[in-house]
Amino acid sequence: MKDYAMIIDYKYCTGCHACEVTCQNEHNFNENEWGIKLTEHGPTKFESGWVWNYVPVPSKLCDLCVEKTSDGSPVPCVLHCLGQCMQVVPVKELADILPALGEEVAVFIP
């Protein structure tokens, strides 16, 4: 298993596609291969109100940029994310980080 995980605080994900495009640029993947891809729920109206959520899902191609960032440089998708709602963190620290983020949060170990 990977040592790192990606957290998406998706209540702030606006579906801007910056993560998808950055990741493609960084890795020169084929046109139809993505390190991360957006999913969308809604927009639709529940009785309790509107639901309009995006959650980007990293694919198997995502290596969490572990090598790339070993020199301390930022993870490209995390840097550019317009919602500032992405983090790449050690799996071991998840339990400490998650409580502060509240609801509508996803964790991926791609």
Partner 1 sequence: MGERIIECSDGRIKMRTCAWSPPGDHPVGCGMYLTVEDGKVVKVEGDPQHPITNGRLCVRCLTLPEYMYNEKRIIHPMYRDPKDRGKDVWEEISWDQALDIIVEKWTAIKDKWGRESIVTFQGTGREPALYHSSLTYAVLGSPNAVFPMSGDSCYGPRCSVADFLLGAGYPEMDYAQFLEGRYDDPQYELPKYIILWGKDPLFSNPDGFFGHSLIDLMKRGSKFITIDPRITWISARSEYALQLRPGTDAALGIGMLQVIINEGLYDSEFVEKWTFGFEELKQRVNEYTLEEIEEITTVAKEDIIAVARIYAQNSPSAIMWGLAVDTNSNGTQVGHTIMSLIAITGNFDIPGGNTLSVPASFMGKWRYECANLLEPEIRKKMIGLERYPGFQAAHVVAHPDLVLDALETGDPYELKMAWFFGSNMLANTSNAQPKRWYEALRKMEFNVGQDLFMTPTAMALYDVFLPVATFAEHEGVVLPHFGRNTHMVSAMNKCVDVGECKSDLEICFWIGKRLNPDAWPWETIADFFTQQIQPVMGITFEDLQDEGWHMNAFEYRKYEKGLLRPDGAQGFNTPTGLIELESSLYEDWGEDPLPYFAENILTPFSRPDLAEEFPLIMTTGGRETTSFHSEHRQIKSLRRLMPDPLVQINPETAIQYGISNGDWVAIENPFGRAIEKALITEIIKPGIIHAQHGWWYPEQDGEEPNLFGVWKSTINSLIPHKAIGKLGFGSPYKNVMCKIYKVDSLDS
The residue within the footprint of partner 1, chosen from 42, 66, 94, 106 (CB under 8 A), is 42
Question: Which residue's structure tokens are 């639901």?
Answer: 51
Question: CB 44 → ligand SF4: shortest distance, Å?
Answer: 19
Site residues for ligand SF4, 59-98, by CB under 6 A, read 62-65, 75-77, 81-83, 85-86, 88
Closest CA to 56 of 86, 97, 22, 90: 86
Question: CB 83 → ligand SF4: shortest distance, Å?
Answer: 3
HEC readout, the chain = CCCEEEEECHHHCCCCCHHHHHHHHHHCCCCCCCCEEEEEEEEEEECCEEEEEEEEEECCCCCCCCCCCCCCCCCHHHHHCCCCCEEEEEHHHHHHHHHHHCCCCEEECC
26 is an interface residue for ligand SF4 by CB under 6 A: yes
Q: Could you list the residues that contact partner 1 (CB under 8 A)?
A: 11-12, 14-18, 21-22, 24-25, 31, 42-45, 49-52, 74, 76, 79-84
| Residues forming the site for ligand SF4 (CB under 6 A) | 8, 13-19, 22-23, 26, 35-36, 38, 54, 56, 58, 62-65, 75-77, 81-83, 85-86, 88
